[in-house]
Amino acid sequence: METNNRSSLMPVLIIFAGILFQMQAMGLIGEKGQLIEIAWPVILVAAGLDLFFGYKRILGAAVMIFAGIALIIFNLSGSTSEVWSIFIAFWPLMLILYGLDMLLSGNSLAGSLFVILILAILVYAILGAKGIVPIPDVALPEQTAQTMPGKAIPGNQATPTANREQTRQIDYILPQEPLVVLELNAAGGKLQLKSDVLENRILTGSITLEAGEQVAENFDQQNSAVRYMLSSSGTVAAAESSSLWNLKVHQGKQIQLNSTMENGYQMIDLRGIQLASAAIKNKNGNIDVMLPFFASVPLSISTETGNIRIYIPEGVAVNCVISGTGSVSYPQNYIRDGSNIYTTDTAGATITVNAQTSNGAIKLISAQNR
């Protein structure tokens, strides 16, 4: 009786899912066709479960289930999902695993698990080499400074070089708090910020200072948020500064970004960042921003004198609200209605951007039209 109950469970679930899909396809449940377009890969997941519970085929079940989950995630979030990226990069391994499952079907469970372990080690090594998953390494002595949990490691100031520039290394430990507030205030020069897969670090990089400049680092921790503040100052006029800020921020934390510059150039790449909010501002100078794949709140980009270029990733739509007296240009598939620039193609995520320049130009650049 136990065997009969176990073998009949999966068919009952499949029949029930089929009834729901059919009712939804007929428009009886929700919008017609919407659920089917997203959830049809559940058939692969069900087939994998059937292979596992009905035939004890572990490898084949794992292949079917992972493929189904990857397709569901793709239908929900598009090609920006990390699971989908892994699936696309290594889908031929699925064929290898399924072939091994066919050879091993009927063999011992221990033999199947041994093959899975060997293949898992191989795949993990490949993913680590590609930078998709982190591979732990041995921390160098200079990276083992004793700090409070979540607090920044003090920057190391290098010996001034012959042209009297100095470099401050930035290396902050990944905090436990879910929200990170990042405040960058550069007097002048160039500020470059982008996301990366960082192991146990929230912010890394370097700041090369002009002679006579210095950087202040501050740390503040409140409730469920932690704030890092970096600001430069000195005797050099902001217009004459050649400082270079080259920083990387962790992709896994929710980031609230506030970036300001007195006189210079900002290049902010927000792709991959889980953005809570962003305010990017120049008094004088140009700003280039690569938008994130998703943002639930408006982004603010402004410069008094300078140009703003907004790069739109593939699969992302933008609703840009323009203010100021500067000129404006945008892709052919966008429409301008007063101060609003938008596209009727809203298949992907829509991000609202408030852009302002008093003496300069605002340009929207789509990755699809470059």
Q: What is the pLDDT of residues 181-207, one digit of tens each?
A: 999 999 888 999 998 888 888 999 999
Q: Does residue 172 form part of some domain? A: yes
Domain shared by 123 and 184, yes or no: no
- The pLDDT, as a whole number, for residue 71 is 74
Residue with tokens 């072939």: 99
Domain shared by 362 and 286, yes or no: yes
Domain shared by 187 and 329, yes or no: yes
Q: Does residue 231 form part of some domain? A: yes
In terms of phi and psi (left: phi > 0; alpha: psi -120 to 50; beta: otherwise), the region of 181 is beta
Domain shared by 211 and 312, yes or no: yes
Quote the number of domains for the chain. 2
The residues pairing with 362 across neighbouring beta strands, listed in sequence order, are 308, 328
- The pLDDT, as a whole number, for residue 101 is 66
Q: What is the pLDDT of residues 291-331, one digit of tens each?
A: 998 888 889 999 988 999 999 988 888 999 998 877 899 98
- The pLDDT, as a whole number, for residue 180 is 92
Collapsing DSSP to helix, strand or coil, 71 comes out as helix
- The pLDDT, as a whole number, for residue 142 is 38
Instruction: Show the low-confidence residues of the chain (pLDDT under 50).
Output: 1-6, 108, 129-164, 370
User: What are the residues whose beta carbons fall under 8 Å from the beta carbon of 305, sequence distance 6 or more?
Assistant: 283, 284, 285, 357, 358, 359, 360
Distance of CA 350 to the CA centre of its chain: 16
- The pLDDT, as a whole number, for residue 238 is 55
Q: Does residue 244 form part of some domain? A: yes
CA distance 207 to 210: 10
- The pLDDT, as a whole number, for residue 236 is 59
Q: Does residue 8 form part of some domain? A: no
Q: What are phi and psi of 66, to 5 degrees?
A: -65, -40
Domain shared by 213 and 119, yes or no: no
Q: pTM for this structure?
A: 0.56
The domain containing residue 70 runs over which residues? 41-130
The residues pairing with 246 across neighbouring beta strands, listed in sequence order, are 192, 206
Q: Does residue 349 form part of some domain? A: yes
- The pLDDT, as a whole number, for residue 237 is 61
Domain shared by 344 and 236, yes or no: yes
Please say which residue of 114, 130, 146 terminates a domain.
130
Domain shared by 115 and 225, yes or no: no
- The pLDDT, as a whole number, for residue 151 is 41
CA distance 179 to 189: 28
Domain shared by 113 and 177, yes or no: no
